[in-house]
Structure 1
Amino acid sequence: MTGHPLAAAAFLAPMLVVFGYFSWLPIVQSAILSMQQTNLVDSAQWVGWQNFRNLFDDPLLWTALRNTGLFVCLALVFGFPAPLFLAVVMSTLRRFGGLFRVLVYLPVAVPPVVAVLLWKWFYDPDHGLFNQILGLVGLGPYPWLQSTRWAMPSLVLEATWAALGGTVLIYLAALASVPRELYEAAETDGASIWRRVWHITLPQLRGVLLLMLLLQVIGTFQVFTEPFVLTDGGPEDATVTVLLLIYRYAFIYGDYGLAAALSVLLALVLGLLSAIYLRATRRWSDG
């Protein structure tokens, strides 16, 4: 017996109102704010598309876009396969599997700012842990965060470590759903572990892999904590990202209209990339 449609609508109404108020209303307000020149203290002045024109005239925007693109690429190259590799290895462990799961997930339990500050000490050029370890084998010291060459890879390394645990657990849960008979048959046929991963694990996890890839691209495009705490965008603006630039526009320069314009632009780019990605991978995901 089905309920009346009006009863269902009344039941969902409070949730829809709350969701719309906290999710869609800020988006609409940001779009309106992007057309205004305001510091949120004096009365706002309607300027239309002028904020977007000013945005594209700012050379720091292109620096931030280039740095963010570099961060995304490095995070995908190193951060995307690492949790999958760990999950595959951990799924084959017969002993101490629970202990390894706790150790891998531990970074997620550490507050992000605390973790970043800890890594800032690791990267200290004089007394940091990394240079001390490398010094034992005659290497370094390296100016991790003070060098335009090493600063961005250093941020990627910390961000990969911080996000590793949750992604590994997702892959472990997905691996548990793969029929064990497939691995047993492949092992009987003499397939190596890498052939089993390539011909069984990856095809069975393709839907999860595609979703995690999209989420990682969206997440890395919005990187903020690492450049803000570790380098503050330096050295020489080598780690200024889009979100850090939004923060500067709003809270350093006091131009909230310009910050909103860049926020809207970022949201549109991520939405477009997501739509193209989902459309391009739909057939492979359903295959």
Structure 2
Amino acid sequence: MELSKKKKGINEQQNIAYLFILFPVILLVVFVIIPIIMALYYSFTDYNIIEKANWVGFSNFTRIFQDEFFFISLRNTAVYTLLYVPLGLIVSLIAAMLLNRKVRTSSMFRVFFYFPVLCSSVATATIWYWLLNPQYGLLNQLLGLIGINGPAWLYSSNWAMTAIVIMSVWMSFGGNMMIFLAGLQGINPALYEAADIEGANGWQKFKGITWPQLSKTTFLVSTQLVIGAFQVFDQAYMLTKGGPGNSTITLVYYIYNKGFGGLEMGYASALSFILFMIIFVFSLINMRITNKEIN
């Protein structure tokens, strides 16, 4: 009798667990898996929302490699990634190491540094649009105090991408900082105590203990940064609209223009899968490099 009651109780708990799992699974299927399947189908059509989709085979994919603006957007995205990923890693790691010290104000600064992550991209872009204004922007005024004539930033094809990178790092480093901070607090303090006994300086401890112990954390953060870099859209859309002179048009922004601007949903879907393959390949490369460092 008691055994049957226990089995009944276990079955009820399992049913409740399945109900909790069911809701996110439904969301995943409806909002992720089904749209991916639909996008894959439409990538082989000339779908434009208004008219019925017609099957065109691989025409959209062959068109991509003849599209000049695709290569422009790919180059811009690559430049953004090469600037954003290393800078994001360095700033996040330095901030985490500074806030890992046992200081009273460290908790307060953690909140301050994490706050930009919680802000909407629209609000952040509005603030940075003012900060980067070449005439009355705060950044150029600060540069003027030390005798530097600040550039036109968002109005210059040479500086617009740099401005977007600066804003992106400011927006995201707080979240990556918290991940690095968790990794730092997971390092055994005995390793540093042994290094102190051996007379190691700060750089030697970082090189011999901190950096190797953070290899897995670095892999996580760098992978997130690479994926986020190839998906950059809000910053370019809000600050520059892809200009000046197409210098900040990114892959996602180009996909958006083709899909919602030109109503070429079939071609935009094909571009999306090319972007997926690019992200997948770079993630594999990053995994190989990081695994070699770990081993």
Same fold (TM over 0.5): yes
Shift of 1:127: 1.1
For residues 1-287 of structure 1, the aligned pairs below 5 Å read 11=18, 15-282=24-291, 284-285=293-294, 287=295
1:126 and 1:141 in contact (8 A); partners too:
no
CA positional deviation for 1:283? 5.2
Q: What is the DSSP-based 3-state SS (H/G/I as helix, E as strand, rest coil) of the residue aligned with 1:57?
A: coil
**Percent of aligned pairs sharing the same letter:** 34
Q: Structure 1 residue 204: deviation in Å?
A: 1.0
Partner letter of residue 48 of structure 1? G
Q: Deviations over 1:24-53 (max 9, x none)?
A: 111111110111112212111111111112
Deviations 1:56-105 (A, max 9, x none): 22101100000000000001231111101111121124231111111111
CA drift at 1:277: 3.5
- What SS does structure 1 have at the residue aligned with 2:155? coil
Alpha-carbon separation, structure 2, partners of 1:275 and 1:79: 20
Q: Is the 8 A contact 1:61 1:242 kept in 2?
A: yes
What's the RMSD between the two structures over aligned residues?
2.1
* Deviation at residue 153 of structure 1 after TM alignment: 0.9
Amino acid at match of 2:62: R
Superposition TM-score, scaled by structure 1 size: 0.92
Pair 284,221 (structure 1): closer, same or farther in 2 beyond 3 Å: same
Q: Which runs of 5+ in 2 are unaligned?
A: 1-5
Partner AA of 2:59 in structure 1: Q
Structure 1 residue runs of 5 or longer lacking an equivalent are none
**Length-normalised TM-score, structure 2:** 0.89
| Residue 3 of structure 2: aligned partner | none
What is the distance in 1 between the residues matched to 2:165 and 2:226?
13
CA distance in structure 2 between the aligned counterparts of 1:253 and 1:15, rounded to whole angstroms: 34
Indicate if the aligned counterparts of 2:215 and 2:290 stay in contact, CA closer than 8 A. Answer: no
Query: What is the CA–CA distance in structure 1 between the aligned matches of 2:27 and 2:95, rounded to whole Å?
Result: 39
- The Cα shift of 1:116 comes to 1.1
Per-residue CA distance 1:166-192 (angstroms, 9 max, x = gap): 111111111111111111221222211
Deviation at 1:282, TM superposition (A): 3.5
Q: Higher mean Cα deviation, 155-164 or 10-19?
A: 10-19
Check conservation: 2:46, 2:267, Cα contact below 8 A.
yes
1:131·1:142 contact (CA, 8 Å) conserved in 2? yes
- Using the TM superposition, give the Cα deviation of residue 211 of structure 1 relative to its aligned residue in structure 2, in angstroms: 1.6
